[in-house]
Each structure stands twice: as structure tokens, then as C-alpha cells.
Amino acid sequence: MKLTFKQFIMIPVGIAVLAFILMLVELALKTAEFPYFMTWIAFQAWAMYFMAGCTYSGGIKALLGYLGGCVASTVIIATGVALLPALGSMAFPLVVLVVVVPVICAERVPWLDFVPAWFVGAGVFFGIKGWGAPTMGYGAVAATVLFSCLVGLIFGVVTVLGRGKYEAMLAAKAAAD
């Protein structure tokens, strides 16, 4: 069923309301006692849910990819720092050379095969640990990445369910007319 603009506009408005709610979630959660939520990560994960096919299994694969990215980043940072005295500026490039091989091999493992999420998760981890909050421990960074990712994936699920119900309602109404 092709939606008229009047029918379609409710979809972007609904998504805008969800984005507004996500911003309110940050206001509610972001405290000194609970620093493990970053809206920008949730927005990325929300989009990642769509890239993963808008399915629950795709969402799980995205979350597992973010987890894998956190693990890979931890290995890269910890090993690179340990090898820095011996290898100098080549420490991190050489560690990345080695770590990327098993990351790409995850493509062959069911549930871990959504490799783009590994790279996004790793990039987010590096962004927080390396530049955003270098004094945060690895566990706190991973908790921030994974919790924020989970919230974003939930918003992706809600978006798909809401749009599906809305379009089904419109289709039923059109069939009844």
C-alpha cells in the first residue's frame, strides 16, 4: 500500500517523538552515580538495528558485534601500550594487523557474523577510551558502550513495531473502505 503524504508524515513524527524520548532518557540516566549512557551511541545502535535487518536476531547480532568490538579494542589498546616501549610508533599498527584477522573471521561464525557492528563498537570504544574519557577503565567503557547500544537497539525495535502496527492499521482501514 502506497501511503499518502498525510499518512506517511505520521511515521517521521513518531520517530521524532521517539528521538525526543531518547533524549529524555539521557537526562534521566546521566548522573554522577550512573555515567554509563551516551545518547550518541544509542542513536548509532538504533541505526545499526536497521542495518542488521530490523529483526530481533539482527539486533542480537548487533549487540554481540558491539561486544566483540569492545573486546577487540581492549586487546588492541592493552597490547599496544605494552608493546610501545619495544616497538615505538609501530606498536599499534602491528597489533591492529593481528587483531583484525580474527575479527573478520567472525563473519564465518553464526551470531557473530555482523562484522560492521564489530567495527562500529570498536570505534565507539576507542572514541570513549582514547579521546573522550581516557581515565575510564576498560570495564566502565564497555558498560557504557553496551548499555547505550542496548537502549538504541530497543528504540529500533519500538520503531519497527510501531511502524508495522501503524501501516497494518492503515491497510485494514483501506480494506474496510
* Domain-embedded: residue 95: yes
User: What pTM did the predictor assign?
Assistant: 0.93
Does 20 fall in a domain?
no
Whether residue 26 lies inside any domain: the answer is no
Q: Tens digits of per-residue pLDDT, 81-140?
A: 999 999 999 999 999 999 999 999 999 999 999 999 999 999 999 999 988 788 899 999
pLDDT (tens digit, 9 = 90+) per residue, 2-12? 999 999 999 99
What domain count does the chain have?
Answer: 1
CB burial of residue 172 (10 Å; 0-12, 13-18, 19+): exposed
Domain limits for position 66: 50-176
pLDDT digits (tens, 9 = 90+) for 49-86: 999 999 999 999 999 999 999 999 999 999 999 999 99
Place of cell 619495544: 86
pLDDT for the residue 47: 98
pLDDT for 5-53, tens place per residue? Answer: 999 999 999 999 999 999 999 999 888 788 889 999 999 999 999 999 9
The 3-state secondary structure of the chain reads CCCCHHHHCHHHHHHHHHHHHHHHHHHHHCCCCCCCCCHHHHHHHHHHHHHCCCCHHHHHHHHHHHHHHHHHHHHHHHHHHHHHHHHHHHHHHHHHHHHHHHHHHHHHCCCCCCHHHHHHHHHHHHHHHHHHCCCCCHHHHHHHHHHHHHHHHHHHHHHHHHHHHHHHHHHHHHHHC
Report if residue 103 sits inside a domain: yes
Tell me whether residue 36 is in a domain. Answer: no
